[in-house]
A and B are shown apart, each in its own frame.
Chain A
């Protein structure tokens, strides 16, 4: 395998190959990984954030952090799941460091009925507490199992299950109210 592949070849290469090249220090290969995975990570963080520019900034931090830690990635095949964990970790760091300020500036939205207002899924998600929102998004948007979510968020398994059950029920209520 040549150390450097052209951009066209990179775009056509399997993700494990591109990841292996990126681990070996190929910046073009890492750029290709960013191109492939940016949609997933930005979408995940937009579900969790209140604003798109913050979500994009956190997504950039995710890719930067992943680039720093890339040599520690043992299996190139695990890149997607590993990157998602990095994103969750970046989000949790952000929530912890901004929780006090956020509570003062913009209190957690109360469970108000939003009948009559335009209620899409993203707005409904914002009605959930942050931990519950994180668990629901990881479960339903990313398809992660309860155990994987517990491992990624460092929450106890029981708490994860409870957040998902309550969060999903709350989402269904909000979406039904809108319908």
Chain B
């Protein structure tokens, strides 16, 4: 570094501002607290809006899923329906589900 550059560097170091910290730190802390409060209010508002949408949509979703269930149930034989509602049917369903999950994991693991 040339001598004149060293002179500038020294000059910058010597004339560095010395500033009191307390008021500044308090102001920053206040702004952060305000920002945090705003964030909390925003989260509560978003949660409220989502809950409202969910409540408003629930009758339509329930109605739709019941209609689909009815339509599917029409195609299932009475014996199969009875089997799935029996303990043996439950055990078989769980076994099939475990097998399907393992197969899916093995496929994604590759």
User: A residues touching B (Cβ–Cβ < 8 Å)?
Assistant: 27, 30-31, 34-35, 38-39, 42-43, 46, 56, 59-60, 63-64, 67-68, 120-122, 137, 140-141, 143, 168, 171-172, 175
Nearest CB of chain A from residue B36's CB, rounded to whole Å: 8
Interchain Cβ contacts under 8 Å between A and B, 23 examples: A31-B28, A34-B25, A34-B29, A38-B19, A38-B25, A39-B18, A39-B19, A59-B24, A60-B27, A63-B28, A63-B32, A64-B31, A64-B35, A68-B35, A120-B15, A121-B15, A122-B15, A140-B5, A141-B12, A168-B5, A168-B8, A172-B4, A172-B8
- Please, which residues of chain B bring their CB within 8 A of the CB of A141? 12-13, 16
Nearest CB of chain B from residue A8's CB, rounded to whole Å: 16
Q: Is B11 an interface residue (CB 8 A)?
A: yes
Nearest CB of chain B from residue A179's CB, rounded to whole Å: 11
- For the complex, would chain B's binding face be called helix, strand, loop or mixed by DSSP majority? helix
CB of B31 within 8 A of CB of A60, answer yes
Q: Is B108 an interface residue (CB 8 A)?
A: no
CB of A64 within 8 A of CB of B8, answer no
Q: Is B21 an interface residue (CB 8 A)?
A: yes
Nearest CB of chain A from residue B22's CB, rounded to whole Å: 8
Q: Is B107 an interface residue (CB 8 A)?
A: no
- For the complex, would chain A's binding face be called helix, strand, loop or mixed by DSSP majority? helix
Q: Is B17 an interface residue (CB 8 A)?
A: yes
CB of B9 within 8 A of CB of A140, answer yes
Given contacts A60-B28, A172-B4, list 12 more A-B pairs with CB under 8 A. A31-B28, A35-B21, A38-B28, A39-B16, A39-B17, A42-B19, A60-B27, A67-B32, A68-B35, A140-B5, A141-B13, A168-B8
CB of B8 within 8 A of CB of A140, answer yes
Distance in angstroms between the alpha carbons of A106 and B26 in the assembled complex: 32
In the A-B complex, the 8 residue pairs with the closest CB atoms: A141-B12, A43-B17, A140-B12, A63-B28, A140-B8, A121-B15, A34-B28, A34-B25
- Please, which residues of chain A bring their CB within 8 A of the CB of B11? 121, 175
- Please, which residues of chain A bring their CB within 8 A of the CB of B24? 34, 38, 42, 56, 59-60
Distance in angstroms between the alpha carbons of A63 and B24 in the assembled complex: 11
Distance in angstroms between the alpha carbons of A165 and B18 in the assembled complex: 28
